[in-house]
Amino acid sequence: MKVHVANHPLIAHKVTVLRDERTPSSTFRELIGEIVTLLAYEATREVKTVPVSVKTPVTNTQGTALAKPDPVVIPILRAGLGMLEGMERLIPSAQVGFLGMVRDEKTLQASTYANRLPSDLTGRQCYVLDPMLATGGTLIAAIHYLLDLGAADITAICIISAPEGIAALEKEFKDQKALTIVTAALDEKLNEKGYIVPGLGDAGDRLYGVV
């Protein structure tokens, strides 16, 4: 498993505004989109491509196109949905699947309550969107789900990660070479309620309000 922590002043600036409890949902949603587009640039570094011929107004030349079948983008509901637009901006042709996962606030265990994914992901490149990598429970369950469907390689894009979550993923998938985590920030720790510290609070609530 590979971990890539973005080290870019523009991303750091935008994450700082996200953290601010005064940032309203509308700005929060916009910033999440912008950060995801910036992270997606790094996350898609190894997206599969094929050589193509292209005729410019001057001459014929060789270019590059995304290979078929297109990558699959999977936001984890609810908060991952806020990251979808930013990802689609970069890969508009991507197929989109959905995975609804919720964690029990007492046990912190993740369970699946909805899924809308291709039944066969053999050979597919998958990009999982989940803003907060806290205990890692949700992402571990989601990754197992995709591997069981045959996913060839998986990249998880997160906004903020906790060291505990990264460690849990590393333990679970230590031999999994085709797994990458790309995160905008790696924070200090989890608190006793499973929230990332300093974090940004509940990403779903910050995006869509408390329900």
Which residues bind to ligand URA, rule: CB under 6 A?
79, 132, 134, 194-196, 199, 202-204
Least distance CB 90 / ligand URA (angstroms): 23
State the amino acid at position 71 in one-letter form.
P
Q: H helices of the chain, where?
A: 9-19, 25-43, 84-90, 137-148, 163-172, 203-208
Q: Which is nearer to ligand URA, 149 or 186 (CB)?
A: 186
Q: Which is nearer to ligand URA, 164 or 172 (CB)?
A: 164
Task: Please tell me the distance from the alpha carbon of residue 156 to that of residue 43, in angstroms, as a whole number.
Answer: 8
Task: Please tell me the distance from the alpha carbon of residue 41 to that of residue 100, in angstroms, as a whole number.
Answer: 25
Instruction: Say if residues 13 and 188 touch (Cβ distance below 8 Å).
Output: no
Q: Which is nearer to ligand URA, 100 or 118 (CB)?
A: 100
Q: How many helices (H) and strands (E) does the chain have?
A: 6, 13
Distance set, CA 201 to CA 21, 129, 204 (Å): 8, 18, 9
Q: Which is nearer to ligand URA, 125 or 135 (CB)?
A: 135
Give me the helix-helix angle, 137-148 and 163-172, nearest 10°.
30
Least distance CB 173 / ligand URA (angstroms): 20
Least distance CB 154 / ligand URA (angstroms): 20
According to DSSP, the residues that pair with 120 across neighbouring strands are none
Q: Is 80 helix (H, G, I), strand (E, B) or coil?
A: helix
Q: Which is nearer to ligand URA, 40 or 185 (CB)?
A: 185
